[in-house]
Amino acid sequence: MNELMLKEKLMADYDKKYDYDGISGERLAHRLGELAKIGITEENGSNRPGYSMEEKQAKELVAGWMRQAGLRVNEDGAGNIIGRLSGKSDHLPAIMSGSHVDSVPNGGHFDGPLGVLAALEVIEAWREAGYQPVKPYEVVIFSDEEGARFNGGFNGSEGMIGKGNMEERLKLHDAAGLSFEEVLSTVGLNAESYSTAARNLDELEIFVEVHIEQGKRLEKENLPCGIVTGIAGPCWLEFTIEGDAGHAGNTPMNDRKDAMVAAGEFVLEVNKLPGQVSNSAVATIGKLNVEPNGVNVIPGKVTLYVDIRDIYQDSRDKLVDLVLAVGQNVADKYAVKVSHEEKMRISPVPIKEDKQNLLEQSFHTKGIRPYKLPSGAGHDAMVIGGKLPVAMLFTKSRDGISHNPAEWSDLSDCVQTVHVLKAFIEEMQEE
């Protein structure tokens, strides 16, 4: 998919009535198309791993557009690009907006770039109107959000807030065997520079991120965009269920300790739990290993992984406890041994009510019905939200497809999201 094809496809069904107040659908489509050229795959997907030359090239392209728009641009030690527009009261903390331009292997063209370009489109609209905000405004491109390189993302946003253990990062290696520091060196960075990326967060008032939904709720509601109520924090549990392996033909049904049967009930029971704690909680068992894994052998050991998420920490942690209780019940019922190991527990980030209410006003201003929904996936806003107030807007995703070349958001929906973002940032000037 070259630039012309993506731009033409975006423009084909675009309703130009959304070109007003300086916001241009064609400019947004053109820029999405230009970014799509960088790291394009044979399947017309995107391949821009974090801290790759492709990600660097995409950052440099957007940085050039930032400078053309009159922003003062700099790169921090983690490779984050920040474009700043001075405010009339430039001593005030800045409002920051943006996202990332790296991708998963063979990903889509909207996840990340839309948030960066939406933030920049606000600047373009202001420039056309000759508007200068009271508060400084910054457009940010975070490095390595997806984590495709080291199986753990958010290295840019974590660098900005000074989160994470550098000793642990230096132990990381990518699939090619390159260490974290070696990978940084390929794009002109190093461990020392990364360690200096932590910012004085008193300089920032709020971070607001636009992102595609990666789900179907907005599509079902027939709405272009929605208000994120919170970003779910995941807890990953590894369960090991141990019974006795045996011959499938010679072991009577009443004399078995079948780890797979116990695992099957565990999976079924865990699926019933989220609704008991909240309407935003989820639990998923997506990976399961069976040993010995033979057609004619009773399974003696099953290892499975439970991904537990909610936007509220109390209900998320309650769900964790319920899952652990199911494990104990299964152990007792089937006379098997069940053990677990916690692999990850990240705090959820609920969005404050006052920010949601202000976003509602922006929706009403633009004639869009406000709709609130949680984010089940992690985002840079989740990391920044550990230290600063955040807000988040989702743009409708076609069929909920993400991390795939078929990922798509209609241009009319994207541009309406930009209008809401612009209205929100302008309303923030009065606070």
Are 83 and 189 contained in the same domain?
Answer: yes
Asked if pLDDT for residue 261 goes beyond 60, the answer is: yes
Tokens in use for 332? 């007792």
Domain holding 260: CATH number?
3.30.70.360
Check whether residue 55 and residue 153 sit in a common domain: yes
Is the four-CA dihedral 104, 117, 234, 334 of positive or negative sign? Answer: negative
Average pLDDT over residues 157-186: 89
Confidence at 376, pLDDT banded by 50, 70, 90: confident
Residue 150 pLDDT: 82
- Across 295-321, average pLDDT: 96
Q: Do 168 and 247 share a domain, yes or no?
A: no
Please state at what angle helix 25-36 crosses helix 113-129, rounded to 10 degrees. 140
* 290 and 273, same domain (yes or no): yes
At position 123, the amino acid (one-letter code) is I
C-alpha–C-alpha distance, residues 55 and 100, integer Å: 9
Burial class (CB within 10 angstroms; exposed 0-12, middle 13-18, buried 19+) of 254: exposed
Q: 245 versus 172: which is more confidently predicted?
A: 245
Domain count, the chain: 2
Reply yes or no on whether the pLDDT at 178 is more than 80: yes
Phi-psi region of 227 (alpha: psi -120 to 50; beta: other; left: phi over 0): beta
**Band of pLDDT at residue 345, cut at 50, 70 and 90:** confident
* Cα–Cα distance for residue pair 404/167, rounded to 1 Å: 33
Same domain? 158 vs 25: yes
Confidence of residue 213 (pLDDT cuts 50, 70, 90): very high
**Are 216 and 337 in the same domain?**
no
The pairs formed by 294-298 with CB atoms below 8 angstroms and a separation of 24 or more are 295/248, 296/247, 296/248, 296/249, 297/245, 297/246, 297/247, 297/248, 298/243, 298/244, 298/245, 298/246, 298/247, 298/248, 298/251, 298/256, 298/258, 298/260
Enumerate the β-bridge partners of residue 163.
Answer: none
CA atoms within 13 A on the CB side of 411: 25
Given a cut of 60, whether residue 298 has pLDDT beyond it is yes
Same-domain status, 74 and 42: yes
φ, ψ for residue 321, nearest 5 deg: -65, -40
pLDDT at residue 4 above 80? Answer: no
pLDDT at res. 310: 94
The number of beta carbons lying within 10 Å of the beta carbon of residue 11 is 15
At 352, the amino acid letter reads: K
Residue 212: count other Cβ atoms within 10 Å of its Cβ. Answer: 29
Domain end marker among 282, 310, 345: 345
pLDDT at position 2 over 50: no
Q: In the chain, what is the greatest distance between 2 CA atoms, to the nearest angstrom?
A: 84
CA distance 52 to 55: 5
Do 215 and 249 fall within a single domain?
no
C-alpha of 307 from chain center? 16
CATH number at residue 226: 3.40.630.10
Spatial CA neighbour of 317 closest among 235, 238, 239, 375: 235
Indicate whether 381 and 319 sit together in one domain: no
Are 228 and 122 contained in the same domain?
yes
Q: How far apart, in whole angstroms, are the C-alpha atoms of residue 311 and residue 361?
A: 23
Q: How confident is the model at residue 360 (pLDDT cuts 50, 70, 90)?
A: very high
pLDDT at residue 269, as a whole number: 98
- Give the mean pLDDT of 337-346: 92
- Indicate the pTM of the whole model: 0.87
The pLDDT, as a whole number, for residue 1 is: 46
CA torsion 293-295-300-302 (nearest 10°) is 40
175 with 73, same domain? yes
Q: Is the pLDDT of residue 66 over 70?
A: yes
Predicted local distance difference test score (pLDDT) of residue 3: 46
Category of 19 on φ-ψ map: left (φ > 0), alpha (ψ -120 to 50) or beta = beta
| Residue range 71-96: mean pLDDT, rounded | 97
AA identity, residue 40 = I
pLDDT value at residue 8: 94
Q: Write down the pLDDT at residue 431.
A: 67
Chain mean pLDDT for the chain = 95
* Number of Cβ atoms within 10 Å of the Cβ of 44: 16
What pLDDT, in 10s, does the model give residues 106-132? Answer: 999 999 999 999 999 999 999 999 999
Both 160 and 49 in one domain: the answer is: yes
pLDDT at residue 346, as a whole number: 85
Domain boundary among 311, 345, 379: 345
The sign of the dihedral angle between the CA atoms of 307, 310, 311, 316 is negative
Q: Taking a C-beta distance cutoff of 8 angstroms, is the pair 62, 141 a contact?
A: yes
Domain boundary among 283, 318, 345: 345
Q: Average of pLDDT values for 389-407?
A: 96
Secondary structure of the chain: what % helix, strand, coil (to 5)? 40, 25, 40
The residues near 99 (Cβ < 8 Å, ≥ 6 apart) are: 112, 113, 114, 115, 116, 119, 141, 142, 145, 209, 210, 211, 379, 380
Provide the residue range defining the domain that includes 407.
Answer: 3-232+348-428
